[in-house]
Amino acid sequence: MGDIDNNGKVDIVTTMPTVFSVANPNPPRLWVFEWNGVVGENKYGNYTSGVLEPTNSWNFDLPNNVDFRPYGLTIEDIDNDGENELITGVRQSTRGREVIVASVAGELSGFGSWVIEYNFIRTAGGSLYNVTTGDLDNDGNREIYALIWNLFTLYIIECTGPNQYEVVDSLKQVYSAQGIDYGALDGVRVTDVNNDGVNELYIAGTESENTLFIITNITDVSKITASDVKEFYHIPVKGNQNSDGVGKFRSMYVADPDDDGKLDLMIAGERNGQIFDFEYSGQGLPSDSTSWNNYVAFDVWDYSGIPPDAPTSLHPRFFYGSPTCPQGPIDEFNLPLCDMDQDGLAEYVFVNYSSSFEVWQNDAYVWVLEAQPQTGIEDELINSPNGFVLKQNYPNPFNPSTS
């Protein structure tokens, strides 16, 4: 969400891989639903035909017959020109793995048009599941981090001025010797957890080793080498040995869900069946593992009462998770929600790609955890578009003394 055409109305922007055909060789791949601007009305897109239609759709200016699979979308003014850009990661396409930076001339509800400011294309193997932004070297120029799932392959694209972008560094197959096929899935974030003016880049590795990486003390992103990539924490691995693997990290966000002033890395733990709340202690170097506390915000095995080694057990895949108040770029139309039900407590929402209703009828596709610093954590679950259930309290992950 954001204001992609800078007209003061928030837009919902969505994408999906779309298969071309002989009858439709160039379908749209991006849809924009703009708020109607009426305070109190939650209407987005066009309703003139009686059916909800997007305000705008776009094919990324592709030629015909291109297999094109967009993945990540970020709206921010990355080049500081006063106008927002859409940064899109393309996990794969006929042309390779791509990063596209685009902006809008005019208003999409009128005669506005899309302008591609930059297009990065690489034909290397692996899928591109992480395109995120930050300013690691703190020089005022923001960067795009494209981490390809290919033995840890990282491209850093720096914005050097309005509409100016340059690949300034690349680390290719850093883990080829070890044979560990690390990538990241929405799991690369830049922050400064100890507020010392030196940013850190954190990476949640995709593989079953449950590895967290850090890159820090960087004064020039163009000079990063493989030796700057440090494994600084391994979270204990959990999971059903009869599943397709155990452990693994997926999406990661920086947040402070318990509002104690100490930043956390909130990590979806896929086959672990856990959500991790990895909190900086407030003291020590961020690169020192002893400066962190790892709390388990949610454990499906404990919650269900079904252990991972049970004869018939669950097969969880906690993929996409996000705190409702993440740390990140903020403008008047890209504010984090922070508190969905307005009860003063932050939430964390995540998706289970592999629910096991045949084993546990209370499993769910979507879970909502709520931070309760003094009393515990609640979970709210949605089993279907029409179903909503409020469950009992779960021990508080953000204050282990109450668990």
Distance CA 66, CA 283 (A): 51
Question: Would you call 293 exposed, middle or buried from its count of C-beta atoms within 10 A (0-12, 13-18, 19+)?
Answer: middle
Residue type (1 letter), 94:
T
Pick from 55, 58, 14, 6: nearest CA to 35: 55
Closest by CA to 4, choosing from 109, 98, 97, 99, is: 109
- CA-to-CA separations, 2 to 162, 219, 330, in angstroms, rounded: 19, 31, 10
pLDDT at 395: 40
Least confident of 104-113, 250-259, 326-335, 358-367: 326-335
Ordered by start, the domain boundaries in the chain are 235-403
Strands (E), 244-311: 252-255, 264-268, 274-280, 292-299
Model confidence pLDDT, tens digit, residues 6-35:
999 999 999 998 889 999 999 999 999 999
Give the pLDDT of residue 341: 74
Q: Which DSSP string do the residues of 13-50 spell out, in sequence order? A: EEE------SS-SS---EEEEEB---TT---BSB-TTS
Percentage of residues of the chain with pLDDT beyond 70: 90
pLDDT tens digits, one per residue of 44-61: 999 777 788 999 999 999
d(C-alpha 98, C-alpha 67), whole Å? 12
- What kind and span of H or E run contains 116? strand 113-122
CA-to-CA distance for 185 and 71, rounded, in angstroms?
10
Find the farthest-apart pair of alpha carbons in the chain and give their distance in angstroms, rounded: 62
Whether 75 has a pLDDT exceeding 70, the answer reads yes
| Kind plus residue range of the DSSP H or E element containing 380 | strand 377-382
What mean pLDDT comes out for the span 129-150?
97
* Residue 396 confidence (pLDDT): 38
**pLDDT, position 377:** 46
- Using only the alpha carbons of the chain, give its radius of gyration: 21
Whether the predicted pLDDT of 331 surpasses 80: no
Average pLDDT, the chain: 89
**What is the reported pTM?**
0.90
Find where tokens 């969905």 sit: 340
Please choose, from the candidates 198, 78, 69, the residue with its C-alpha nearest in 3D space to the C-alpha of residue 142. 78
- Compute the distance between CA of residue 34 and CA of residue 32 in angstroms, rounded to an integer: 6
Residue with tokens 């509409």: 163
pLDDT band at 336 (very low <50, low <70, confident <90, very high): low
User: Where does the pLDDT of residue 42 fall: very low under 50, low under 70, confident under 90, or very high at 90 and above?
Assistant: confident
